[in-house]
């Protein structure tokens, strides 16, 4: 039933996400630098970093086992599958039966958990600390993602992402309903926490007391580090794209290739816009104390719960 066109569209989607993710990170850093009064390294800098790292040999610390060595590959693999599954450019993916919310949340968690295991495997204090923090946040984030998307799926009657996006395209007023807005607010907080941005984690820091994500990848070098960095930026892109698809789904192509160039353009504009907005907000806020993070995430859980409740009592 899946047409060749669907395969082409999905392949384009994966390539765009893989190639565009470092550019998105570069764009966000550039916006941040400009707003902070610095010249910035340019949008292409993450790509130059990746090229440099990919030429270097990976170094493995002594006494590390298979979790440390396989983690970059698993993380990259799960990110690539995510990029293929989530409806970013097209709703007619050949992987459509797998584009279930639970599968997507599971893939996200798989990447995070492999990285946490790798960090524990190194046996260093930083790695263990980073892993413990990351898992704490993960445990608070996962239920919120699930509940927030329940609010969206309750009206459609399906947890299939493509079905939710298509239903929103047919009924644009749905986006302005309280259930959808509350779910959007909850998901924004969750995406910020999941991708390790301010105020939960500072992506620019290497200070041991504050870092979460960076603490886990300290021991990686060369190709492995390149894969981890690349996969992380792809996860950021996919999550921002997912937000855009769920709440601003205009322009996403259906089956057929004709609408694909427009969908590509719209996708780039939406994700770049979200990225610029995120990094602009980041300039104005400070990192939250680690012990205050559960408060923020409890808030987003309540928002998600309210979204579900209102999708029932306003139905």
Partner 1 sequence: MTDITYPLYLDLAAGLLLLSAIGVLWRRQLAAMINLFAVQGVALAAIVAIIGVHQHSLELALVAAGLGVLRAGVLPHLARRALGNSPAEARETRPVVNVAASLLAAAALTLLAYAVTRPLVALEPSPATAILPAAVTVVLIGFFTLVTRRRALAQVVGFLLLDNGITATAFLAAAGVPLIVELGVSFDLLLVALVLQVLTTRLRSAFGSTDLDELRELHD
> Which residues here bind partner 1, judged by CB under 8 A?
173, 176-178, 181-182, 294-295, 298-299, 301-303, 305-306, 309-310, 312-314
For residue 309, the minimal CB distance to partner 1 (Å) is 5
Distance CA 162, CA 6 (A): 13
Smaller CB separation from partner 1, 175 or 248? 175
Phi and psi angles of residue 90, each rounded to the nearest 5 degrees, phi first = -140, 145
For residue 81, the minimal CB distance to partner 1 (Å) is 33
Tell me whether the omega of the peptide bond preceding residue 199 falls within 30 degrees of 0, making it cis.
Answer: yes
DSSP, collapsed to helix, strand or coil, labels residue 11 as helix
Tokens of 67: 């979790």
Given a contact cutoff of 8 angstroms between Cβ atoms, the answer to whether 266 and 16 are in contact is no
For residue 202, the minimal CB distance to partner 1 (Å) is 22
Smaller CB separation from partner 1, 216 or 304? 304
For residue 137, the minimal CB distance to partner 1 (Å) is 14
For residue 303, the minimal CB distance to partner 1 (Å) is 8
Handedness of CA 225, 228, 234, 237 (dihedral sign): negative
The residue count for the chain = 315
Distance CA 48, CA 286 (A): 29
For residue 36, the minimal CB distance to partner 1 (Å) is 25
Given a contact cutoff of 8 angstroms between Cβ atoms, the answer to whether 50 and 233 are in contact is no
Smaller CB separation from partner 1, 177 or 195? 177
Distance CA 175, CA 249 (A): 9
Distance CA 72, CA 132 (A): 19
For residue 151, the minimal CB distance to partner 1 (Å) is 12
Smaller CB separation from partner 1, 208 or 295? 295
Smaller CB separation from partner 1, 30 or 177? 177
Smaller CB separation from partner 1, 180 or 232? 180
Phi and psi angles of residue 253, each rounded to the nearest 5 degrees, phi first = -80, 145
Alpha carbon 239 to its chain centroid, in Å, reads: 3
Neighbours of 248 (CB within 10 A): 17
Cβ neighbours of residue 88 closer than 8 Å, sequence gap 6 or more = 13, 16, 17, 238, 241, 242, 244, 245, 252, 267
Smaller CB separation from partner 1, 10 or 177? 177
Smaller CB separation from partner 1, 74 or 183? 183
Distance CA 22, CA 30 (A): 12
**Closest CA relative to residue 20, chosen from 274, 277, 280:** 274
Smaller CB separation from partner 1, 16 or 184? 184
For residue 287, the minimal CB distance to partner 1 (Å) is 17
For residue 306, the minimal CB distance to partner 1 (Å) is 6
């Amino acid at each position: 039933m899946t047409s060749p066109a669907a395969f082409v569209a999905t392949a384009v989607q994966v390539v765009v996400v893989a190639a565009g993710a470092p550019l998105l990170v570069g764009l966000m850093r550039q916006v941040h630098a400009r707003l902070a009064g610095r010249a910035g390294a340019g949008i292409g800098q993450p790509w130059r970093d990746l090229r440099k790292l990919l030429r270097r040999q990976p170094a493995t610390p002594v006494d590390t086992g298979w979790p440390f060595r396989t983690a970059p590959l698993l993380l990259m693999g799960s990110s690539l599958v995510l990029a293929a599954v989530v409806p970013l450019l097209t709703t007619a993916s050949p992987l459509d039966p797998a584009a279930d919310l639970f599968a997507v949340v599971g893939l996200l968690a798989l990447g995070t958990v492999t990285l946490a295991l790798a960090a524990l495997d190194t046996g260093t204090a930083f790695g263990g600390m980073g892993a413990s923090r990351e898992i704490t946040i993960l445990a608070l984030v996962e239920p919120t993602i699930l509940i927030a998307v329940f609010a969206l799926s309750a009206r459609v009657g399906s947890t299939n992402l493509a079905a939710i996006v298509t239903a929103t395209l047919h009924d644009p007023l749905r986006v302005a309903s309280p259930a959808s807005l509350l779910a959007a607010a909850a998901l924004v907080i969750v995406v910020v926490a999941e991708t390790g941005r301010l105020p939960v984690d500072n992506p620019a820091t290497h200070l041991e007391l504050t870092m979460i994500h960076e603490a886990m990848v300290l021991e990686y070098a060369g190709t492995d580090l390149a894969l981890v960095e690349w996969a992380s930026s792809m996860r950021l892109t996919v999550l921002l794209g997912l937000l855009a698809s769920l709440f601003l789904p205009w322009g996403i192509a259906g089956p057929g290739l004709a609408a694909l160039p427009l969908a590509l353009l719209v996708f780039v504009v939406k994700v770049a816009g979200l990225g610029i907005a995120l990094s602009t907000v980041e300039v104005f806020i400070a990192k939250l104390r680690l012990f205050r993070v559960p408060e923020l995430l409890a808030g987003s859980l309540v928002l998600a719960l309210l979204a579900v409740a209102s999708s029932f009592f306003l139905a």
